[in-house]
Amino acid sequence: MKRTLEPYLWLLFSGGGVVAALALPVLVLLFGVLMPLGVVDWPSAGHLTALLDHLLVRLALVVVVVLCLFHAAHRIRFTSEELLGIARFDLVIAVLCYGAAVAGGVTAAVVLL
């Protein structure tokens, strides 16, 4: 029996979907609505620096970014194949999508760590 990476990619897709559904709306609400309207004060540079000084916070942010990128990559891969009818190029599309997700994850890790 031939083993594939497909179950792991679906796992990253579902994990990214959960993270995107739970974390991103809160961030958009805070930084996109409440803070610009003045309902909540903007955090100072000192507060953000103190928050990002903790290693667990930086690791959590890397996990959120990586999972969201893999979720987007998986969604783009299968949507483009179905809508554009280019399923015969599955390997190329998969390498491009997941390669971009890995590159974005490495970039996030380098920036945050």
With a threshold of 0.85, does the pTM exceed it? no
Cβ-Cβ contacts under 8 Å for 96 (sequence gap 6 or more): none
pLDDT grade, residue 18 (50/70/90)? very high
Band of the pLDDT at 5, cuts 50, 70, 90? confident
Q: Is 103 helix (H, G, I), strand (E, B) or coil?
A: helix
Residue 84 identity (one-letter amino acid): L
Residue 43 token pair: 């955090």
The residue written with tokens 């958009």 in the block is 28
Distance CA 97, CA 62 (A): 18
